[in-house]
Amino acid sequence: MTRFTILVLAAALAALATSPASAQRQAPQSRAEMQLSFAPVVKRAAPAVVNVYGARVEQVQAHPFFDDPIFRRFFGDRGGPQQGPGRAEVARSLGSGVIVDRSGLVITNNHVIQNMTEVKIAFADRREFEVDIVLRDPRTDLAVLKLKNPPTDLAVIDIGESDGLEVGDIVLAIGNPFGVGQTVTQGIISALARTQVGVADYQSFVQTDAAINPGNSGGALVDMSGRLIGVNTAIFSRSGGSHGIGFAIPTALVRLVVESARSGSQTVQRPWFGGRLQTVTADVAESLRLARPTGALVVSVVPNSPAARAGMRAGDLITAVDGQVVEDPDGFGYRFGVKPIGGMASLAVTRNGRNLVVPVALQPAPPGGQDAITLSGPSPFAGARVATLAPGMADELRVAHRTDGVVIMAVEPNSAAGQVGLQPGDVVVAVNGREIRTPADLREATAQRARLWRFQIDRGGQIINSMMGG
């Protein structure tokens, strides 16, 4: 190697060492750097992190024995202060939230406030405020609250870009674990785009080893600039405590929900694709002559959907959305679902060995539920809101395997439907031998009291046969 070549290589290495990309991420270079503190980051971010408290009053059914005077004579009134149909109990929840807007908007997890009728937040300085629930989005497990009377010194966190994260980046988790008070933990980004967590429909979680425990849900995951880059949501644990595997919803998804709340919407409008997808297995990859199993394989396309109008076909393999690589159907759902309504998304598609770019319109699903009714009366379906299944509703309620039927849209808390275990997304097939095709069919079939109820439910493609006394 000549002296000139050595000088060129040395110059190139020196330029690389001082490039902006390497300057942004580097290990500590001295003992003094090892003694640096995260305190400035905490001072910027922590004031915008709050505790979230939820409560609801629910009726608990007393055991029939408690109505027996002989039983009460020997065992006392263990049924509680209210005998007869049941007693009132207060159910509570505890979590965290992050203030994201000067108007008093707070982002948290939907599961923290699910079914709660009264919600309050508390600052780290113990000031408490009442809030309104302005938006719930179970599909992302996010919800937006709004302070009724926000103070003038309201701290707000900046929302960062989760797409710029890299594995190994240092992060801080801020929340209220186990209700002990605001707590800060430190770790790194352990992995990106985790899709097998199972706590929401849109899965592309940021994984971190920063300690996250019960009560951290809805709290902040922040970068070294004090910006929000994720909302802490779930942990993998065999004991209920932190094992160093925590998951946060990335801010690309958080921003979509916050913008919907800012616009005054009570729901999140997201683009509808209109195709059923499946994971590419090793066998499928071999049959398609792929180098490795990756992408989202189109199994079927809903007629007159954006996918159909774009010319998508069964057998197409989607590998990227607007240049962002797609590893599986969950990855596609996330990348496509965070796109704003309007405009187009460019899908990289492999079809019969040819690589194509397919533009797909970013349009919402057609409205459904116009014939929705809430059932009442002496049946196990009392308190269930049902409607004819529409294509958009099938996506929203996770009923990808069907295109028709009567679907349960919602179940009222403490209702008969809730007590027998009916869930949103269940499709009612038959009641007492009668086939159910419309909501009116179901209302007629459940209008009269029966000594025995027999009904069939399609849940995720599995038929469940139930029988219970009237």
Nearest to 461 by CA among 371, 410, 416, 394: 394
Integer CA distances (angstroms), 208 to 94, 230, 250, in order = 22, 10, 12
3-class SS of residue 114: coil
Q: Which amino acid, 104?
A: G
155: number of CA atoms within 13 Å, CB side?
18
269-293: b or e for each residue (b if 16 or more CB lie within 10 Å)?
ebbbbbbbbeebeeeebeebebeeb
Q: Are 406 and 430 in contact (CB under 8 A)?
A: no
CA-to-CA distance for 221 and 230, rounded, in angstroms? 5
Q: Which of 96, 101, 111, 415 is catalytic?
A: 111
Nearest to 108 by CA among 68, 137, 151, 67: 137
Q: Which of 96, 101, 137, 141 is catalytic?
A: 141
- Residue 344's region, left for phi above 0, alpha for psi from -120 to 50, else beta, is beta
Q: Which amino acid, 33?
A: E
Q: List, as one string, the DSSP characters of 133-170.
A: EEEEETTTTEEEEEESS--TT---PPB--GGG--TT-E
Nearest to 212 by CA among 191, 240, 238, 190: 240
Q: Which of 204, 217, 260, 415 is catalytic?
A: 217
Active site residue 158: no
């179901």: which residue's tokens?
442
Instruction: Report residue 401 CA to chain centroid gap.
Output: 21
Active site residue 223: no
Q: Are 420 and 384 in contact (CB under 8 A)?
A: no
Q: What is the DSSP code (8-state) at residue 364? A: P
Q: Facing residues of 95 across strands?
A: 52
Q: Where are the beta strands (DSSP E) in 275-433?
A: 275-279, 296-301, 317-321, 324-325, 344-351, 354-361, 373-374, 384-388, 406-411, 427-431
Helix (H) / strand (E) containing 59: strand 49-61
Active site residue 141: yes
Query: What are the catalytic residues?
Result: 111, 141, 217
